[in-house]
Amino acid sequence: MNKQIELNIDLRQMVLAIETAVDLVGMNDTNHGKRVGFIATQLANKLGYSDKDIHYIFELGLLHDCGVSTEQMHSNLVNHFDWEDAHIHCEIGYKLLKNFEPLSKFATPILYHHTPFEELKNLDIDPKDAKMANLIFLADRIDVTAASHYGSDILLARDTILKSIKDYSEKYFDPAFIDAFIEVEKSEAFWIALEDRHITRYTWDMGLFDTESSLSLKQLKQLSLIMAYIVDQKSPFTAQHSSRVGCLSKYIAKCYGLNSEQCEKIEIAGFLHDIGKLRTPDNILEKPGKLTNAERSIMDQHSYETFEILRHIKGLDDIASWAAFHHEGLNGNGYPFHPSKKDLSIEARVIAVADIFQALAQNRPYRDGMDLDKIISILDEFVDSGKLDKDVVSIAKQNSKKCFDIAIGNAVENKESEIPLFSF
C-alpha cells in the first residue's frame, strides 16, 4: 500500500474542482466563486496584504459557497442582500471543512461570511478570521449586486453598484474595506475582468501557482467524500447515493480480484461519479414521473459535466474517465461518450454496475427502492442486452446480500464513508 499513498494531487486544483462543481448550481451563472475570489484579491492587494494572504483569500473566495447544493438556496442567496437563512450554507460549509486538515483554515471564515460587521467585531473569534470573513462577504455582495450587468452595461452601472454597497458600510462591512473598494472600482479594468471570458482566464492563471501541497490517498478520499456530500444534498432522493456507490464499487472490485490501489481509486471515482449532477435542475431530479425527452436530454449531460470537472486535475486522469463512464454500455448504447467496448475499462464497468445496483435499491421520487431479487433480475436484463459486463454482474450476484447491505447503508464499509457531523 505504501507505493500509492502519495498521488501528488495539487490541492489548489482540487479547490478549483470544488468551486466549479458548486457553481454549477447557479445553472446559467457558473462563475460566482471565481468572481468573488478575484474581487477579494483586488481588495486585499489594495489593502496591502501579503502575497500569501492574497492567495489564501482567493481560495477562500472559491470555497465560500461550498455549502450550497440546491437551486432554491442559490436563488435566495443571489436575490436577497441579507437572506434570513443565509447562515445555513455557512454552517454546512464550516462542518464540511473543519475536520479536513488541508482546508480547515477556511472553515471559520466560511462560517461567518454572511455575518454583518457590527456583529462580527463583537464575536470571540480570531481577528484575522473575522477580517477574511468580512472581506469575502463584501466581495460576495459586490458580485451579486453587479451580476445582472455583466456582458451588457457593467461600466454604466458601476456608480449605482458603488452607491448601493456604500450604503451598507459600518453595519455590514468594515469601512476600511469599503474604502478599498472605492479605490479599486475606479479602474475600468476591474469591472471588465469580471466578464466570464476574462474571469475564467484569471482563475486558470491563479491555478498555475504551485501550492507546494499535495494530497495523500487518504486525504483525496476525504475530500472526495466532501464533494460526494455536496452533490448528494442536491435532493433528498440522492442522499448518500455517491458515498454508497463508492463503497459498493470498492467491494465489488475487491471481490473481482483487482489490486488494492485500483480498489482505492475505484472507490474515489464512485464518490465523485455524480458531481456533474449539480448542473441538473432540482425539478428534474425530483420529478415523480417519467422524464420528457427534453428533461432526459438535460439529465444525460451530468456525466460529461463530471468529466469536465475532474479531467483538469493532474493525476486524476484515470479516475475522471472511470467516473464519467458510469452510464456507458458495452453495447455502445449508453451516454455521453459511447466508447468502444475495448475502451471501457474494468474499473468503469465495476462502477457502472455499482451505480445501477445502488440506484435500484434506493427510494426515488417515481418509485420505492427495490428488493434484492428485483435488482438481480434487472441486472441480468442489462447483461442480456449487452449493457453491463457479465463477469462483474456475476460477482455482484455471488455476493448479492453483502452488496445489498452496502447499497442501503447497512454495512461496515458505509460507516467508514459516512460523516456524522454532516446531518443538519
Is 158 a residue whose pLDDT tops 80? yes
In the chain, the percentage of residues whose pLDDT exceeds 70 is 93
257: left (phi over 0), alpha (psi -120 to 50) or beta: left
User: Band of the pLDDT at 412, cuts 50, 70, 90?
Assistant: low
The single residue listed with the C-alpha cell 456525466 is: 303
- Residue-wise pLDDT for 226-245, tens only, equals 999 988 888 777 778 999 99
State the pLDDT at residue 421: 42
Grid cell for residue 267? 472507490
Q: What pLDDT was estimated at residue 418?
A: 57
In whole angstroms, what is the distance from residue 258 CA to residue 300 CA?
29
pLDDT band at 313 (very low <50, low <70, confident <90, very high): confident
Question: Cell 482563475 sits at which residue?
Answer: 203
| Domains, in order of start, for the chain | 31-207 (1.10.3210.10), 217-422 (1.10.3210.10)
Closest Cα partner for 253 from 242, 262, 243?
262
Give the pLDDT band (50/70/90) at residue 406. very high
Residue 3 pLDDT more than 60? no
Lowest-confidence segment of 279-283, 313-317, 412-416 by average pLDDT: 412-416
At 209, the pLDDT band (50, 70, 90 cuts) reads low
Q: Counting beta carbons within 10 angstroms of the beta carbon of residue 37, is it exposed (0 to 12), middle (13 to 18) or buried (19 or more)?
A: buried
The pLDDT of residue 374 is above 90: yes
Q: What is the pLDDT of residue 26?
A: 67
CA of residue 377 relative to chain centroid, distance = 34
Q: CA of 268: how far to CAs of 85, 142, 323, 399, in Å? A: 32, 36, 9, 21
Higher-scoring residue by pLDDT: 10, 249:
249
Distance CA(237)–CA(261), nearest Å, equals: 31
pLDDT at 8: 74
34 is known as an active-site residue: no
Q: What is the pLDDT of residue 195?
A: 93
pLDDT of residue 420: 46
pLDDT, residue 176, reads 97
> What pLDDT does 326 receive?
95
Does residue 344 contact residue 326 with C-beta atoms inside 8 Å? Answer: no
- Among residues 221, 254, 277, 387, the one annotated as catalytic is 277
Res 301: pLDDT: 94
* Mean pLDDT, residues 316-344 taken together: 94
Q: What is the pTM of this model?
A: 0.90
Binned at pLDDT 50, 70 and 90, residue 413 comes out as low
pLDDT > 70? residue 4: no
pLDDT, mean of residues 83-102: 95
Q: What rounded mean pLDDT belongs to the chain?
A: 91
Q: For residue 402, what pLDDT band results from cuts at 50, 70 and 90?
A: very high
